[in-house]
Amino acid sequence: MTAVITVAEMEARIVRYGALQPCKTAFIDAHTPGSDQKENFTIIGGGVSESPDQHVHIGIPHGFNIGAAGQPPKCRNSMHSHRTAECFWVLSGRWRFFWGRHGTAGEVFLEQGDIINIPTGIFRGFENVGTDYAMVMAILGGDDAGGGVIWAPHVIEDAQAHGLVLAETGKLYDTKKGQALPDGVKPMPLLTEDELAGYPEMSPMQIVGQGVRRYNDLVALAKDKPVKVIGERGMIRDRPGFDVDLVTRSSATEEMHSHDRASVLMPIRGHWKLIWKGGEALLDPGDTASVPAGLSHTAVPAMSGEAALYHIIATDDPAGPSTMGQ
């Protein structure tokens, strides 16, 4: 159990928004028009980047991965899936999330603080439909993030037409830079029609009704105590291997507490003071703080005004097939 850590030690576990290091070559669609301006951030865990250029901010296993995507207006993330559930919440801007093999099964528009949980095995994509550069945060179940990304066949084909080839090993090769697959290494095979039949086309009612919650509604529910947003008994009923709670000014407490595993604090609005035995640290929207297991701590608003943050912690549920809707 962690009894005390210094301010410097805690600061090493805080990823500041302004210190995020982007990767513009993280995925196979990095050259594809419409997707070639996005930036990928791996904040906690190894992530799912296919590029050796990706910087990992905190590599400590937490039972889940946290990343982010920053995109200018009209930039989109291509259709992909994972072997574990993926949750997104909007840090800034206005976003369109869409799903299905070709992105035509349904769509929903989300704004700051809104959250969406996308089950395992669903092709999904997202696009910045606002007027400024914006950021969306992601939580992906499992320490190994489900073993990587599963791309819709047309994404791989489009990428090859623009010089990027994904090897069966999950590594990218850029033919525009003279790179080629090593001897004995084959390209990532396209999913067959029989395999694609195992990726359901969920309806808008299934995804939006069961997996989307609006920030303002969650704030109203968190008036007296934090609201469990994702969890076995959450507003979004799923067991993805992690729980997500929303804490607001009115539901924050000065009472110190600890967890038997590392937890993560991600402010949405307002400025927060993280307090522990050994020091204090200020957290702003876009910052990500990893609190060590066993450390007695609390987080409270640091100044007046609206304040809210998401709290994430792993559960004993395996990161794998989603239980949403069951």
pLDDT digits (tens, 9 = 90+) for 138-173: 999 999 866 789 999 999 999 999 999 999 998 999
Task: Indicate the CATH number for domain 20-212.
Answer: 2.60.120.10
State pLDDT tens for residues 41-78: 999 998 889 988 899 999 999 999 999 999 999 999 99
Q: Where are the alpha helices (DSSP H) in 168-242?
A: 193-196, 204, 210-211, 215-221
Taking the domains of the chain in order of start, what are their residue ranges?
Answer: 20-212, 215-314
Whether 20-212 shares its CATH topology with 215-314 is answered yes
Measured in whole angstroms, the distance separating CA 28 from the mean position of its chain's CA atoms is: 18
Radius of gyration of the chain (CA): 20
State pLDDT tens for residues 165-209: 999 998 999 999 999 999 999 999 999 999 999 998 999 999 999
Task: Indicate the CATH number for domain 215-314.
Answer: 2.60.120.10
State the residue for tokens 């996308």.
Answer: 118
| pTM of the predicted model as reported, rounded to 2 decimal places | 0.94
Measured in whole angstroms, the distance separating CA 155 from the mean position of its chain's CA atoms is: 21
